[in-house]
Amino acid sequence: MPWDDRGGISLLIAIITGPLILVSGLLTVDAFGSLRSRENADAVAIEAARAAQQAVDLNSLIPAHGVKVDPVAATAAANGYLARTDAQGTVRITDGGRRITVTVTGSYHAKFWPHTFHHQVSSSARLLFGTTHPEDGEIR
């Protein structure tokens, strides 16, 4: 049978399939690289907030009216953690010294696409006082 087309493929599909798979694979590398960079920034923000949370103001413990951080020591602890991980970020202490928010900014320079992905992630830590539930009047 001279006109049997079993196993035949269109010339257009044969030419386009290879480059299309290659380009989509390369863009996937950049997409996952950007995601990995964002997840790393998120992890750094979480750990910097935890480091700051350890700087409890000891004078707030004695009257037993709640726990708060020493703003100077907490900011120094968080900034120290950011410096050790080569991350850029800011530290904010609110709620009377009970909430620490660390915001980390980062970027990923794409390998195969002429673009730089910028991201900014934040993490908060809240100091609670009480044995079974927070004694500041709110359960969070």
CA dihedral 33, 38, 41, 42 (to 10 degrees): -140
Placement of tokens 């673009």 in the chain = 115
The rounded distance, in Å, linking the Cα atoms of 122 and 99 is 13
pTM of the model: 0.74
DSSP 58: G
Domain of 16 in residue numbering reads as 12-126
In a domain, 4, yes or no: no
Flag whether pLDDT at 96 surpasses 90. no
Flag whether pLDDT at 100 surpasses 90. yes
What is the SS3 assignment for 67? coil
In a domain, 6, yes or no: no
In a domain, 120, yes or no: yes
Flag whether pLDDT at 135 surpasses 70. no
Structural domain count, the chain? 1
Segments in the chain forming alpha helices (H): 11-53, 71-84
